[in-house]
Amino acid sequence: MTQASLARQPLLTPEEVSALLRVPTTTLAVWRSTGRVKLRFVKIGRLVRYLAADVEAYILGALQAA
């Protein structure tokens, strides 16, 4: 994915990702701090955001592993 296409991707809040994955936002925070789960995120100032494409890829990867 190019930088230009990344810039056009919607950014999701931790609350939105939490609802999609059905995990608490605190779990997402643990994943970010420990690196235990490889779900890329971006920090804009103090705000944390996730690229929609990365969340989708994580979900698809979890389905294939099952």
Q: Which domains does the chain have, with CATH numbers?
A: 3-65 (1.10.1660)
Residue indicated by tokens 């789960």: 37
**How confident is the model over 3-15, as pLDDT tens digits?**
666 667 799 999 9
Q: In degrees to the nearest 10, what's the CA dihedral of 13, 59, 34, 50?
A: -20
In percent, the amount of the chain with pLDDT more than 70 equals 85
Q: Which two tokens stand for residue 28?
A: 């997402």
Contact 54, 39 (CB under 8 A): yes
**How confident is the model over 17-27, as pLDDT tens digits?**
999 999 999 99
Distance CA 27, CA 7 (A): 26
